[in-house]
Amino acid sequence: PAAAVEVAAAGTLGSATVTVQLDLSRVLAAAFAQSGYNVYVAARVPGRQIGRADAVFFVKTAASGWQLLSLPIAAYLQNAAESSANQRVVIEVVRDTNISALIGTEIYVGYGTSDTEMLQAQRYRGVYIIN
């Protein structure tokens, strides 16, 4: 739900910081209490911005940063349970970065027990468009 996500964007296109805060206590179902869940972060970059015919998806992991999407989709956060202390996840999309070449890029956040389950259950949504 929209109430579970807060986006903060600061700076200019030449030097921007964008963060997303996800309040997991507002999105998790009781079923996740036992099995844990993963949080996924992706960006859909318009092809024209990177010299390609089609849009390209990237994913962000906490350890490796942004990388091309591949299957299975790499998680930003793994195996957190509903009762864990980590109920508010702060995702730094970019920090002090020139994003002028990323106009039209949409940032997505999703969650699920796996990437397949997240996609099938449609537990993801666009949270920010760079413009």
pLDDT digits (tens, 9 = 90+) for 85-122: 557 788 999 999 999 989 999 999 998 889 999 999 99
CB within 8 Å of 49: residues ≥ 6 apart:
101, 102, 103, 104, 105
pLDDT digits (tens, 9 = 90+) for 13-66: 999 999 999 887 777 655 555 567 899 999 999 988 877 889 999 999 999 999
> Alpha-carbon distance 78 to 96, whole Å?
26
Dihedral, 125, 45, 116, 65 alpha carbons, nearest 10: -100
Residue with tokens 């309040």: 23
Sign (positive or negative) of CA dihedral 94, 100, 101, 105: positive
> Alpha-carbon distance 56 to 50, whole Å?
9
CA nearest 109: which of 36, 22, 31, 25? 22
Outline where 32-92 has alpha helix (H): 32-35
How many whole angstroms from its chain centre is CA 80? 16
